[in-house]
């Protein structure tokens, strides 16, 4: 079974007049320490869970409904995650979706029915996790392992036994120490399973993409070899299609729109108050798309391509991130779990090469600064406009679960390196590098 | 990006034209003025207060002018007077709400802002305190000024060549003339001894100052032009590092606003922020006895004796030797570095990616990480990112130093006579002993009046304090915060009490590191340009 991280997103319109009650329920679930209704911590697969109510928003004269979004970041196959969610949080999910359209008044008694409901309201997203391949259990075990080695090194240092020892000898002492605590650290005597190529292949989307790509590659080579004229024709058609796509993109991007102005401070305060955890936080933003039928389809298609081809940009402070369009491709939704506090995290998008990717992903949202061909200008030339629009479209996440709130992605990946290297044969130089991880 | 001769001429011309409208503190740290005091005030009676402020503006406020009408350099002033307001002060001056709302949110809220939690009416949400680490003993309720109990409306900053002249200036400018104001607190500073600009722990301070395009230092020959910073990073109304304007307060373009410049891009608005800046003031009490006692008894660093080991660990916590030499360029001992190299170094570029010379969690590495690789970025992008969070510091120390010349060995000798030192001797490996309770005010003895000028409080000051100083995972560390200025451990980060010094093979790790500083007061001010000052007080 693979350990790839994926995103599962459900979006359903809320029944008329039910959003107040749903909000109260989400807040209650967020605080519920008895975990009688939802127990995401008891789930083996759920890494992050967000439950947020998107308000009714105006899409060029048409009101988009109040919508509930449930977004999970999970590890492993989707079917397993769904089973896991139902096992640990079925009662709570039924309580939540009772307030949403299409959910029967008397609830859904059978797991299969609730699973069917969730599947039927599932949305695809352009998703990325920055520590894919590492399970929830791994993260905890490796955190404890690191602390144990840290404490042991302190003890050795205090006893003055490290002086004169080679890195390899010190590492051997650590290995011996961990072996004596084998029951506690049975994870550490072998390298962890990483998200290797075979595992990546097990996600069907990538497999299908590769197959299609290989098929066309084969076709092109075959045509090239056998039918030169035919190849030229196909090449010309391909060139024409690409030119048209670029032209469409350019046409959409050339439409001018108004950038959002500063939202009321009270709104920003309400949002930031929920995102002051010292290390890991969550944010949700949702905005109607800018005007244009062509834009709706172009953006939805672009997100699909980006998602399948794994082209989502690397944002350093992100644990997991996703973009999707809901409400018949009229509303852009962005969800993220990240390190830092909200304003500073969003500012991080303005550094290095990230703004170019941000321009593409965000500039279709209403109020975002226009970017030249979705690439240059935009947030780069109007950072304050970008901050304003992010604040304007941010929404309070009433229900949030994070499996580990004190470690950043880089901490987690570093702990993984410690575990992987612990019993690996190393030269003195490699052992020295490994010891620098502490 | 290089700083071409043409750009230099344009920016210098731009700045020179406006110097008469800037308060001089933006352009000068007043190193020639050894004495200073900051008088923190409340407005009691607004009409009298306005009359007094008008008198100050007409007669005393010092501008940044450095040339006479003939274009010749004029000598540095022998005294200086500046005026700045908090958002509460602007409200009490009677400024219209629509204008007040154009200031930045963090300035309007202030450093100690809290509000009732809608979900728990008995609790309060303290966003700023949480971001800045003003918790435990640092919490605003314990402050001597700047909190609900002692709110501040404005600050008069006085600078003179020595204490005697300062008293004269204070009498002429403030004591004999002021009306309608109540003094909340006087934050006196310690008279500088010539050529010694050290803080109370015994370390040279204020070395790493950004150099601003258009100001005289940017014309010096040995300046790395890539490191020059756009004026808009510190002065409102100019382009910042993003090549954009930081958000500036504004007013309608009407008869009342005739002295103000236009707001860039909007013909119906005038820029109230032009040539002004936001001023962050935090009074930080330094616990010298605790600092040196901890270092003396707990240092595992190399050294010929305990004093040397303590000084080496202190240097590792700060990132510089006491005389200001950076550890990156002289890791073993403070030698072999020319004065101009004190601030001309990088971490990755200085072959110290892993912190073997200057620990990753050292104070100067956190507060100005230079090319220190930020999570997931390369050195170039990191350097660019660091450049977007600079501050122009104008702080001074207060309180009688333990040693007049601030020699660390002499300070350490003094500390050895203190009860704190003996407490640490008796509880050498234990946790912090004898600290004051969380609800007790920390006595004001000696410390630093931290003052910095920024054009965006959130992006510059709060970002550095929160993301780089107070975050336990900076540079992929675990359980460490800034060893000098951050609170630890906190309710949210109970394991955050460590400091690590990477070594060639196995690092030294210090646990239960106590807090060596406490915030005892603070506020956000707006220091307007002189035309804006006139607009505000008329």
Q: Enter the DSSP assignment of B69.
A: T
Spatial CB neighbours of A366, under 8 Å, sequence gap ≥ 6: A257, A260, A287, A288, A289, A290
Average pLDDT over residues B65-69: 86
Closest Cα partner for A85 from A69, A100, A70?
A: A70
User: Does any CB of chain B come closer than 8 Å to the CB of residue A265?
Assistant: yes
Phi, psi of A362 (to 5 degrees): -105, -25
Q: What angle do CA A280, A286, A288 make, to 5 degrees?
A: 165
Q: List phi, psi (to 5°) of A265.
A: -60, -35
Report CA dihedral (B267, B270, B275, B280) to the nearest 10 degrees.
-120
> Which residue matches tokens 């993220």?
A336
- The label of the residue with tokens 């749903």 reads A22
Q: For A150, which residue in chain B has the nearest alpha carbon?
A: B509
Nearest to B153 by CA among B57, B48, B41: B41
- A277 in contact with chain B, both atoms CB, cutoff 8 A: yes
Q: Least CA distance to B429: which residue of chain A?
A: A158
- Whether B379 has a pLDDT exceeding 80, the answer reads no
Note the pLDDT tens digit of each residue in B19-62: 999 999 999 999 899 999 999 999 999 999 999 999 999 999 99
B506 Cα to chain A: minimum distance (Å): 6
Is the four-CA dihedral B162, B163, B167, B173 of positive or negative sign?
positive
The question of ipTM being above 0.90 is answered as no
Give mean pLDDT, residues B408-428.
Answer: 90
Q: Is B507 on the interface with A (CB under 8 A)?
A: yes
Are the C-beta atoms of residues B207 and B213 closer than 8 Å to each other?
no
Residue to mutate among A128, A129, A273, with most B CBs inside 10 A, is A273
With beta carbons less than 8 A apart as the criterion, state whether A409 and A131 touch: yes
Q: Which of B13, B384, B41 is nearest to A354 (CA)?
A: B384
Asked whether A197 and A204 are in contact (CB, 8 A), the reply is no
Predicted confidence band of residue B192 (pLDDT cuts 50, 70, 90) = confident
- Calculate helix-pair angle for A409-422, A428-435, nearest 10 degrees: 150
> Which residue of B374, B384, B473 is in closest CB contact with A411?
B473
**Residue located via tokens 């110097």:** B19
**pLDDT band at residue A251, thresholds of 50, 70 and 90?**
confident
The C-alpha atoms of residue B144 and residue B186 are separated, in whole angstroms, by: 10
Say yes or no to pLDDT of B430 above 50: no
pLDDT band at B433 (very low <50, low <70, confident <90, very high): very low
> Left if phi > 0, otherwise alpha if psi is -120 to 50, otherwise beta: which for A171?
alpha
Among B120, B467, B468, B503, pick the best mutation site for testing chain A contact (most A Cβ within 10 A).
B467
Which residues in chain B touch residue A268, judged by CB atoms under 8 angstroms apart? 105
* Least confidently predicted of A150-164, A183-197, B76-90, B234-248: A183-197
A-chain residues near B109 (CB < 8 A): 265
pLDDT in tens, A28-45: 999 877 778 899 999 999
- Tokens encoding A157: 């240092």
Residue of A89, A50, A64 lying closest to A13 (CA atoms): A64
Do B524 and B110 touch, CB atoms closer than 8 A? yes
Which DSSP symbol is given to A238? H
Q: Is the pLDDT of residue A332 over 80?
A: yes
Q: Which of A163, A352, A388, A434 to probe the B interface (max B CBs under 10 A)?
A: A352
Which residue has tokens 């079925």?
A90
Q: Mean pLDDT in chain B?
A: 90
Cα–Cα dist B435/B136, whole Å: 12
Measured CA to CA, the distance from residue B232 to residue A153 in angstroms comes to 48
Mean pLDDT of A238-253: 78
C-alpha–C-alpha distance, residues B246 and B107, integer Å: 14
Residue A438: list chain B partners with CB under 8 A: 506-507, 509
Name the 3-class secondary structure at A185. coil
Tokens representing A148 are: 């144990």
Contact call for A432 and B504, based on CB within 8 A? yes
Report the candidate in A209, A268, A294, A303 with the shortest Cα–Cα distance to residue A393.
A268
Q: Do A339 and B502 touch (CB under 8 A)?
A: no
Q: Summarize pLDDT for B327-363 with one digit per residue, the tens.
A: 999 999 888 777 777 888 889 888 898 999 999 999 9
B242–A383 C-beta distance less than 8 A: yes
B513 has a pLDDT exceeding 60: yes
Mean pLDDT calculated for residue range A378-384: 87
Instruction: Measure CB to CB from residue A157 to each of B458, B478, B506 and give the nearest one.
Output: B506
| Interchain CB contact of B493 with A (< 8 Å) | yes
Q: Which of A198-207, B16-25, B511-520 has the lowest mean pLDDT?
A: A198-207
Query: Cα(B228)–Cα(B15) distance, rounded to whole angstroms?
Result: 15
What residue in A sits closest to B378 (Cα-Cα)? A352
Question: Number of H helices and number of E strands within chain B?
Answer: 15, 16
Instruction: pLDDT band for A204, please (50, 70, 90 cuts).
Output: low
Facing residue for B244 by CB, picked from A157, A381, A408: A381
Which of the four pLDDT bands, split at 50, 70 and 90, describes residue A238? confident
Is the backbone peptide bond immediately before B489 cis, with ω within 30 degrees of 0? yes
Is residue A349 over pLDDT 50? yes
pLDDT(B160) > 60: yes
Q: Average pLDDT in the B450-473 region?
A: 94
Minimum mean pLDDT among A60-64, A331-335, B398-402, B440-444: which range? B440-444
**CB contacts < 8 A (A, B):** 120
Q: Is the distance from CB of A359 to CB of A380 less than 8 angstroms? A: yes
List b or e across A205-237, with b for residues whose CB sees 16 or more CB atoms inside 10 angstroms: eeeebeeeeeeeeeeeeebeeeeeeebeeeeee
- How far out from the chain centre does Cα A23 lie? 23
Q: How far apart are the two ends of chain A, measured CA to CA in Å?
A: 31
Is A417's Cβ below 8 Å from some Cβ in B? no
Query: Would you say residue B434 has pLDDT above 50?
Result: no
Cβ–Cβ contact A203 with B under 8 A: no
């Amino acid at each position: 079974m693979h350990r790839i991280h994926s995103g599962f997103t459900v979006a359903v319109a809320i029944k008329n007049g039910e959003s107040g009650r749903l909000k109260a329920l989400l807040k209650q679930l967020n605080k519920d320490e008895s975990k009688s209704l939802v127990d995401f911590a008891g789930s083996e697969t759920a890494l992050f869970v967000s439950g947020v109510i998107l308000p009714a928003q105006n899409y060029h004269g048409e009101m988009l409904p109040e919508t509930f979004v449930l977004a999970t970041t999970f590890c492993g196959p989707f079917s397993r995650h769904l089973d896991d969610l139902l096992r640990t949080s079925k009662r709570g999910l039924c309580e939540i979706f009772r307030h949403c359209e299409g959910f029967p008044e008397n609830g859904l008694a059978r797991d299969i029915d609730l699973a069917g409901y969730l599947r039927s309201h599932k949305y695809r997203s352009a998703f990325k996790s920055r520590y894919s391949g590492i399970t929830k259990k791994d993260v905890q075990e490796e955190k404890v392992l690191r602390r144990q080695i840290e404490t042991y090194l302190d003890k050795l240092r205090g006893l003055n036994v490290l002086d004169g020892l080679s890195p390899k000898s010190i590492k051997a002492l650590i290995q011996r120490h961990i072996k004596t605590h084998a029951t506690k650290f049975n994870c550490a005597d072998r390298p962890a399973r990483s998200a290797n190529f075979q595992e990546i292949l097990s996600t069907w989307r990538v497999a299908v993409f590769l197959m299609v790509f290989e098929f066309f590659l084969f076709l092109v080579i075959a045509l090239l070899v056998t039918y030169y004229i035919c190849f030229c024709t196909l090449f010309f058609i391909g060139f024409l299609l690409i030119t048209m796509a670029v032209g469409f993109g350019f046409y959409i991007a050339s439409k001018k729109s108004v950038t959002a102005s500063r939202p009321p401070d009270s709104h920003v305060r309400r949002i930031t108050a929920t995102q002051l955890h010292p290390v890991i936080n969550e944010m949700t933003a949702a905005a109607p798309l800018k005007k244009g039928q062509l834009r709706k389809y172009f953006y939805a298609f672009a997100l699909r391509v980006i998602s399948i081809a794994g082209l989502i940009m690397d944002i350093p402070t992100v644990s997991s991130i996703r973009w999707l369009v809901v409400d018949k491709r009229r509303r852009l939704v962005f969800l993220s779990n990240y390190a830092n506090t909200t304003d500073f995290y969003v500012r991080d998008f303005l550094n290095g090469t990230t703004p170019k990717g941000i321009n593409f992903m965000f500039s279709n949202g209403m109020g975002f600064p226009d970017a030249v061909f979705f690439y240059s200008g935009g947030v780069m030339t109007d950072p304050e406009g970008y901050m304003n629009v992010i604040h304007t479209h941010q929404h309070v996440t009433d229900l949030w679960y994070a499996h580990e709130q004190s470690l950043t992605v880089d901490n987690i990946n570093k702990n993984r390196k410690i575990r992987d290297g612990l019993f690996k044969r190393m030269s003195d130089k490699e052992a020295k590098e490994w010891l620098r991880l502490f | 990006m290089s700083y071409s001769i043409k750009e230099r001429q344009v920016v210098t011309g731009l700045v020179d034209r406006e110097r008469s409208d800037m308060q001089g503190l933006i352009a000068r740290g007043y190193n020639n003025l050894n004495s200073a005091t900051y008088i923190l005030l409340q407005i009691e009676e607004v009409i009298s207060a306005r009359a007094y402020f008008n008198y100050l503006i007409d007669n005393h406020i010092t501008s940044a002018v450095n040339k006479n009408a003939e274009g010749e350099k004029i000598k540095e002033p022998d005294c200086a007077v500046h005026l700045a307001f908090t958002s509460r002060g602007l409200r009490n001056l009677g400024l219209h709400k629509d204008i007040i709302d154009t200031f930045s949110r963090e300035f309007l809220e202030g450093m100690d802002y809290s509000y009732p939690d809608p979900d728990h009416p008995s609790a309060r949400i303290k966003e700023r305190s949480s971001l800045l680490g003003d918790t435990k003993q640092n919490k605003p309720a314990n402050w001597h000024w700047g909190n609900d109990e002692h709110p501040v409306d404005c600050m008069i900053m006085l600078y003179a060549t020595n204490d005697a002249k300062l008293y004269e200036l204070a009498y002429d400018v403030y004591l004999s003339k002021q009306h309608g104001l109540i003094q909340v607190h006087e934050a006196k500073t310690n008279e500088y001894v010539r050529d010694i600009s050290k803080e109370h722990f015994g370390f040279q301070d204020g070395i790493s100052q950004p150099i601003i395009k258009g100001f005289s230092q940017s014309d010096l020959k040995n300046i790395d032009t890539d490191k020059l910073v756009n004026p808009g990073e510190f002065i409102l109304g100019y382009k910042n590092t993003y090549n954009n304007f930081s958000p500036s307060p504004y007013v309608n373009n009407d008869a009342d606003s005739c002295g103000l410049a236009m707001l860039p891009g909007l013909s119906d608005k005038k820029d109230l922020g032009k040539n002004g800046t936001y001023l962050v003031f935090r009074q930080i009490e330094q616990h010298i006895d605790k600092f040196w006692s901890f270092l003396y008894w707990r240092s595992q660093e190399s050294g010929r004796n305990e004093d040397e080991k303590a000084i080496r660990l202190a240097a590792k916590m700060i990132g510089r030797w006491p005389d200001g030499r950076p550890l990156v360029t002289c890791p073993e001992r403070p030698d072999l570095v020319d004065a101009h190299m004190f601030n001309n170094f990088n971490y990755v570029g200085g072959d110290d990616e892993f912190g073997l010379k200057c620990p990753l969690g050292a104070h100067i590495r956190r507060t100005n990480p230079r090319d220190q690789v930020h999570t997931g970025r390369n050195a170039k992008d990191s350097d660019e990112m660091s450049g977007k969070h600079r501050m122009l510091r104008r702080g001074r120390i207060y309180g009688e130093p333990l040693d007049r010349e601030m020699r660390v060995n002499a300070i350490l000798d003094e500390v050895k006579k203190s009860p704190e030192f003996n407490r640490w001797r008796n509880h050498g490996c234990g946790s912090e002993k004898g600290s004051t309770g969380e609800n007790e005010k920390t006595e004001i003895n000696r410390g630093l009046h931290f003052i910095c000028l920024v054009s965006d409080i959130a992006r510059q000051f709060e970002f550095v304090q929160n993301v780089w100083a107070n975050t336990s995972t900076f540079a992929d560390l675990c359980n460490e915060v800034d060893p000098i200025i951050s609170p630890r451990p906190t309710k949210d980060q109970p394991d955050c009490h460590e400091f690590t010094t990477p070594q060639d093979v196995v690092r030294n790790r210090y646990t239960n590191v106590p807090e060596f500083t406490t915030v005892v007061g603070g506020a956000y001010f707006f220091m307007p340009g002189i035309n804006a000052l006139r607009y505000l007080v008329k």
